[in-house]
A and B are shown apart, each in its own frame.
Chain A
Amino acid sequence: MIRVMLPQHLRTLAQVSQEVELPAESAKTINMVLEALLIKYPILRGTILDQGSGQRRPFIRFFACGQDLSLEPLATPLPEAVLAGREPFRIVGAMAGG
């Protein structure tokens, strides 16, 4: 299982309380994990990736294994520890104003 951690507002929208789990075979890259997430929770469509451009929204960040993956191409493979379910893939709302 891939473990995905969502920011509070997206957990509320998706009506989940803790981590989201996705099948490991469906998510080898950042883009694949996001697509699997949106298939399971279509309510999140447009809240992480821009609906028009398909790119990461400006104040969304991606972290895993202590690394900031936000600026990596969406086709970047996920770290092995994420694929193995030992570490979560974190979707974070950036600190940006009060």
Chain B
Amino acid sequence: MSEVRVLVGTQKGAFILTSEAKRSSWDVRGPLFAGWEIYHMNGSPADPQRLYASQSNGWFGQVIQRSNDGGQTWEAVGNKFAYEGEPGTHQWYDGTQHPWEFKRVWQLQPSLNDPETVYAGVEDAGLFRSADGGQSWQELPGLRAAKGHLWQPGAGGMCLHTILLDTSNPQRIFVAISAAGAFRTDDGGLTWRPINRGLISPGELPDKSAEVGHCVHNLAMHPSRPGILFMQKHWDVMRSDNAGDSWHEVSGNLPSDFGFPIAVHAHEPNTIYVIPIKSDSEHYPPDGKLRVYRSRSGGDEWEALTNGLPQKDCYVNVLRSALAVDTLDSCGIYFGTTGGQVYASIDSGDSWNPIVRDLPKVLSVEVQSLP
């Protein structure tokens, strides 16, 4: 590997951070799409020069941008996200039914082997697929048939924020929806089922047997073990060893098991990372100390990683899509904060340095390891 490219989406534009493999000095380019919210920017595993970006704001709606040259130039592609058939209704805050309304794209996940195919997770929650490089989008409506009428928006909106493509089974996809839960298809997206057994949220969801309504914040898997999933739930860090059929808690000794992102080390499938946040009422690190927690045992036993991170007076948050890893020999870990810092560790989290300190609020971070 000769280069690392970090794709940063912020509240006021996109930034592309690049470095040689040593990751000792960084070039910062941006803002791209200045003034717009970039919820997510992601590269194709099949063609790393093919990038997609979700550009939106409250005035002018949704734009999808595509690059064929690693982000040097961009072209706007299709931005029509029409729910299939009659959109139907979901549950509203007052318990009544409310029509599905498209608001924005939260996540773009390119296919593992075709740069022209890309999935989009949207708010109000739905999954769309494009097979023509983003020019046109078709919904996979079977997802909303998985008890969609019972889904209800959370504080951040009813968003489909996480899409995981199974590396060993092209028919299997996992998604997560805020305040609805995790879902899986085993037939390429035609039919879906909730995979939330074992998730317990007594404060928010008294019904322990509820199939949907669980506030899943993020999912992660290692490509070599796609049947093992890790989850940061609203509260609780969870693990599944059977592709989501059941979950068990692995929060262990974390100072708080509330948080947003979760990630897996590129070369150690049992090494996972979370960034604890004090509570759902106070979205900042416990004790004003920004600490990444690492478990080398797949959960339960956690160590604080603090070297290079602020250990006093730090009250930023790290959002659900703002933690990512590279695949270099010494695995790099990257995360962005709501205060505009992007931190990098080139030694699996042992030590950290800021790449940039003063970007707009960071909404997402993705990393490409380039040959």
A-to-B contact residues, CB < 8 Å = 7-10, 12-13, 43, 45-48, 50-52, 57, 59-60, 93-94, 96-97
Restricting to B50-104, which residues have a CB under 8 Å from any CB of A? 57-63, 76, 79-82, 101-102
Tell me the bound Cα distance from A52 to B58 in angstroms. 16
Contact of B80 among A13, A46, A96 (CB under 8 A): A46
B-to-A contact residues, CB < 8 Å = 34-36, 57-63, 76, 79-82, 101-102
Q: List 17 A-B contacts (CB under 8 A).
A: A7-B59, A9-B59, A10-B60, A46-B61, A46-B62, A46-B79, A47-B60, A47-B63, A48-B60, A51-B79, A51-B81, A52-B101, A57-B59, A59-B58, A59-B59, A60-B59, A60-B60
Cβ contact within 8 Å between B59 and A13? no
Given A9-B36, A13-B60, A46-B79, output 5 extra A-B contacts at Cβ < 8 Å. A13-B76, A45-B79, A47-B60, A47-B63, A52-B82
A38 to chain B, nearest CB (A): 12
Residues of chain A within 8 A (CB-CB) of B35 are 8-9
Tell me the bound Cα distance from A15 to B364 in angstroms. 27
Contact of A96 among B59, B62, B79, B82 (CB under 8 A): B59
B57, B60, B76, most chain A CB atoms within 10 A: B60
Tell me the bound Cα distance from A47 to B79 in angstroms. 9
Cβ contact within 8 Å between A94 and B59? yes
Residues of chain B within 8 A (CB-CB) of A43 are 76
Tell me the bound Cα distance from A12 to B81 in angstroms. 22
Tell me the bound Cα distance from A46 to B35 in angstroms. 18
The answer to whether A52 and B60 touch (CB under 8 A), given A13-B76, A46-B79, A46-B80, is: no
Residues of chain B within 8 A (CB-CB) of A60 are 59-60
Cβ contact within 8 Å between B82 and A51? yes
Tell me the bound Cα distance from A46 to B56 in angstroms. 11
Tell me the bound Cα distance from A52 to B100 in angstroms. 11
Question: Looking across the interface, which residue of chain B has its beta carbon closest to that of A14?
Answer: B76
Cβ contact within 8 Å between B79 and A13? no
Residues of chain A within 8 A (CB-CB) of B81 are 51
Residues of chain A within 8 A (CB-CB) of B101 are 52
Residues of chain A within 8 A (CB-CB) of B82 are 51-52
Cβ contact within 8 Å between B58 and A9? no
The answer to whether A93 and B76 touch (CB under 8 A), given A9-B36, A51-B82, A52-B102, is: no
The answer to whether A93 and B60 touch (CB under 8 A), given A9-B35, A9-B36, A52-B102, is: yes
A52 to chain B, nearest CB (A): 7
Tell me the bound Cα distance from A8 to B57 in angstroms. 13
Cβ contact within 8 Å between B58 and A96? yes
Question: Looking across the interface, which residue of chain B has its beta carbon closest to that of A53?
Answer: B101
B34, B76, B81, B82, most chain A CB atoms within 10 A: B76
Question: Looking across the interface, which residue of chain B has its beta carbon closest to that of A92?
Answer: B59
A70 to chain B, nearest CB (A): 13
Cβ contact within 8 Å between A51 and B80? yes
Tell me the bound Cα distance from A46 to B102 in angstroms. 12
Contact of B61 among A8, A47, A94 (CB under 8 A): A47
B35, B61, B80, B82, most chain A CB atoms within 10 A: B61
Tell me the bound Cα distance from A50 to B102 in angstroms. 10
Tell me the bound Cα distance from A60 to B57 in angstroms. 12
Residues of chain B within 8 A (CB-CB) of A13 are 60, 63, 76
Residues of chain A within 8 A (CB-CB) of B102 are 51-52
B44 to chain A, nearest CB (A): 22
Cβ contact within 8 Å between B59 and A93? yes
Tell me the bound Cα distance from A65 to B80 in angstroms. 33
Tell me the bound Cα distance from A52 to B79 in angstroms. 11
Residues of chain A within 8 A (CB-CB) of B61 are 46-47, 50-51, 57
Sorted nearest first, the 8 A-B pairs with minimum C-beta distance are A47-B60, A59-B59, A93-B59, A46-B79, A51-B80, A43-B76, A46-B61, A47-B61
Residues of chain A within 8 A (CB-CB) of B34 are 12
Residues of chain B within 8 A (CB-CB) of A50 are 61
Tell me the bound Cα distance from A12 to B79 in angstroms. 17
Residues of chain A within 8 A (CB-CB) of B79 are 45-46, 51
A16 to chain B, nearest CB (A): 14
Tell me the bound Cα distance from A52 to B36 in angstroms. 22
Question: Looking across the interface, which residue of chain A has its beta carbon closest to that of B81?
Answer: A51
B25 to chain A, nearest CB (A): 31
